[in-house]
Amino acid sequence: MSDNSSDEELAPDWIPYRQRSDWADVTPIEQDDGENPVVVISYSEKFKDVYDYFRAILASSEKSTRALELTRDALRLNAANYTVWQYRRDILKALGCNLQQELQYIDDVISDNPKNYQVWHHRRVIVEWLNDPSDELRLTESVLSMDSKNYHAWQHRQWAIKTFNLYDNELEYVDRLISEDVRNNSAWNQRFFVLKHFGFTPEVIQREIQYAVNRIRLIKNNESVWNFLGGILHDGGASISQHEEVLAFCEELYNNNVRSPYLIAFLIDLCQEKCLREENAESREALGRRVAELCDGMIREHDVIRKKYWQYVVDSFQLKLNRLKANNDGERNDGTS
């Protein structure tokens, strides 16, 4: 439990619980840090007062309107306290409270604490109790308009979409976010999430290849879209090297002196796969040399910070290539013996 806010979190006319006549029947319980605490936190007097009374109602299992209001004060002072949120849910259930009003309350808390896991979890539980996701896309869109990469908002949005089948207009929303910021990795991830739900048909794959290519042409050094393109090809069920138009596009960029490490890494994957599938020995050797050259470029210039990784990539690839060559030589010898 930590006091991460100032006294101003509570109203200026706030009266300590110790001075309230309607709480005179409750004996507050102070925090027990043991005989020799390593660190003594300097809590404000308001924080001590609220949490001393919260510990008291928790100990007595009191579930009342006043206890519910006490949890609100406790959460104003520390919105990340899991125990308070859990006990608030226990009170809501015991009293049969209006859960729509609780959602409105959570809206306000989220606006002040948009990256607080506990409040998003509380929101999810209340929505599940109501079985009503009608406001979740609106809420998350509002939060994401302030921070388009808020992980908690995206996680909640995906949960709501998946749980209540709210996929229908999501691609249009994501397309708008990508248009606003093509580097928004969260939006690219959301696009993949929606596409995976509907399935990667050949038509979808071709459409998404073109979608990604058009955005790569705008910004070549954008890791998000390169990851998206790789995911589309891998999850589409076919070999990435079977999409000749993608290889041609990558080669076009490379031949035009684009040296983005994401482009080169993509080319390495394509060439490795194409090489290991190639039956013609001469073509296979040429592709093998290309992989080695591209990895060498990453090691020496384009991705030096990960040079050990790229050395591992080229060494592992060479082992696979040697095994493939040995197997092919063995098959030819068996055929001629």
pLDDT at 239: 66
- Is 325 among the residues known to form the active site? no
Task: State the pLDDT confidence band at 2, using cuts at 50, 70 and 90.
Answer: very low
Closest to 92 in 3D by CA, of 114, 118, 113, 123: 123
User: Hey, what's the torsion of the CAs at 216, 220, 221, 226, to 10 degrees?
Assistant: 30
What value does the mean pLDDT take over residues 24-48?
Answer: 83
Q: What is the pLDDT of residue 43?
A: 82
Q: DSSP characters for 69-118?
A: HHHHHHHHH-TT-HHHHHHHHHHHHHHT--HHHHHHHHHHHHHH-TT-HH
Model confidence pLDDT, tens digit, residues 220-233: 999 999 999 999 99
How remote is the C-alpha of 336 from its chain's centroid? 57
Angle (CA) 56 57 63, round 5° = 175
- The average pLDDT across 287-304 equals 97
Query: Residue type for 259, please?
Result: R
Marked catalytic residue, from 93, 115, 162, 196: 115
* 243/110 Cα distance (integer angstroms): 45
Q: Is the pLDDT of residue 182 over 80?
A: yes
The structure's pTM equals 0.88
Quick: pLDDT tens for 83-136.
999 999 999 999 999 999 999 999 999 999 999 999 999 999 999 999 999 999
Q: Which of 31-35, 167-171, 219-223 has the lowest mean pLDDT?
A: 31-35
Q: Of the ranges 31-35, 44-48, 92-96, which one carries the lowest mean pLDDT score?
A: 31-35
Q: What totals of helices (H) and strands (E) does the chain contain, helices first?
A: 15, 0
Q: What is the mean pLDDT of the chain?
A: 92
